[in-house]
Amino acid sequence: MSGIADRLARGIAHGGPIPVAQYMAEANAHYYATRDPLGAAGDFTTAPEIHQMFGEMIGIWCADLWQRAGRPARVLYVEPGPGRGTLARDALRVMARFGFAPEVHLIETSPTLRARQAELVPGAVWHDGIETVPEDAPLLLVANEFLDALPVRQIVRAGAGWRERMVGMIDGAFAPIAGDRPMDAAAPPAWRDAAEGAVIETSPAGAAFMGEIGRRLAAQGGGALVIDYGHAAPVLGSTLQAVRDHARADPFAAPGEADLTALVDFAAMRDAAVAGGARALGVAGQGAWLGAMGIAARAQTLMQAGPERARDVAVALHRLTAAEAMGELFKVLGLAGGEWPAGAGFPEEK
């Protein structure tokens, strides 16, 4: 076993099974702290790494919102989980064309990724969490594939009722098992009588983060984009998955050596932000939102300027926007706060 796997196994041996949320949190903390997981040499590729157009559309959204808000002198660009800094670099480059140069605040705990971000986003200020981001100016927050990596809590319908889903050791291997404590009160009424083996999944960490973003937007003003893969309404079943070497893997096989994620419940995340005080602008499919921001026209311009790269641009456009690729599975949640106007690409919710 690796160091983190051995530590988890010893903890389970001494203290008993641990919640899925704890297992996911500890495995991911080790995973992100010890490597750059992105790109061909890593385990997965995110939208900003596919093509510059993705970050450029986000830059346009931010610049447009800033202009419609009256071009305030001081604005914070905040990005949690900024990967290599590619999205921030591309978005900030576009913002600069509009005369917009926000302060850059990146929320990142990985020393490896901070070093990569410093190369692409000089002048950024780093934070371990949202708590230390300044509260004295409007913020434009962009969270791309951030919520999916936060730990999820699962409860499972066992023979005796609902129980928390735990991780234990069976024949020397990590495996999900039902806990001992009754959790029937945590099951929504609509699913309380689900079949044995059914799993209900929530993200308390995600909801807490979104609640804080809602509070910040209400108090400071600004807007936010939350982009991730997930579902528009709650679903029954476990969505916990692992990716390693650009392929699906067993999430319980090698903790700390694969990227553990779960699908985002956008309805729950929207509700948490609204409860915090933000206005919900809506949830759109990534393809539709990028289309509304003008990605097709940008792709055409790039293809005309560099015919030798036209095929690469076309492939990237398809991957980012097509329904069978990232266009529908990935969604964009828009938020606004204070007296700030609605951002582009959303029919604002009532």
Record the tokens describing residue 149, joined without a space: 């990596």
Record the tokens describing residue 315, joined without a space: 């492939």
- Residue 304 has a CB neighbour count (10 Å cut-off) of 10
Single pTM value for the model: 0.94
- Give me the torsion for CA of 49, 4, 245, 20, rounded to 10°: -80
pLDDT at 37 > cutoff 90: no
pLDDT at 261 > cutoff 90: yes
pLDDT in tens, 185-204: 999 999 999 999 999 999 99
Does residue 22 sit within a domain? no
The set of residues, in sequence order, having a beta carbon less than 8 Å from that of 323 and lying 6+ positions away, is: 285, 287
pLDDT grade, residue 41 (50/70/90)? confident
Does residue 280 sit within a domain? yes
Does residue 185 sit within a domain? no
Q: Yes or no: say if 68 and 343 are a contact pair by the CB < 8 Å rule.
A: no
Does residue 240 sit within a domain? no
Q: Tell me how many domains the chain contains.
A: 1
CATH code, domain carrying 104: 3.40.50.12710
DSSP 8-state secondary structure symbol assigned to residue 38: B
Average pLDDT value for residue range 74-102: 98
Does residue 94 sit within a domain? yes
Does residue 170 sit within a domain? no
pLDDT at 349 > cutoff 80: no
pLDDT in tens, 286-331: 999 999 999 999 999 999 999 999 999 999 999 999 999 999 999 9
Strand boundaries in the chain, DSSP class E? 18-19, 76-80, 103-107, 125-127, 139-144, 153-158, 161-170, 173-182, 199-202, 222-231, 241-244, 247-249, 259-261, 264-265, 279-285, 330-337
Does residue 266 sit within a domain? yes
Give the range of the structural domain holding residue 124, as residue numbers without chain letter: 47-149+203-232+259-337
Measured over the CA atoms of residue 102, residue 58, residue 148 and residue 198, the dihedral's sign is: positive
**321 residue type, one letter:** T
Question: What are the backbone dihedrals phi and psi of residue 327, each rounded to the nearest 5 degrees, phi first?
Answer: -65, -35
Which of 33, 37, 23 is closest to 255 using CA atoms? Answer: 23
Average pLDDT value for residue range 241-249: 93
pLDDT in tens, 11-27: 999 999 999 999 999 99
pLDDT at 2 > cutoff 80: no
Does residue 33 sit within a domain? no
Average pLDDT, the chain: 95
Q: What is the C-alpha separation between 98 and 51, in angstroms, rounded?
A: 21
Q: Yes or no: say if 129 and 107 are a contact pair by the CB < 8 Å rule.
A: yes
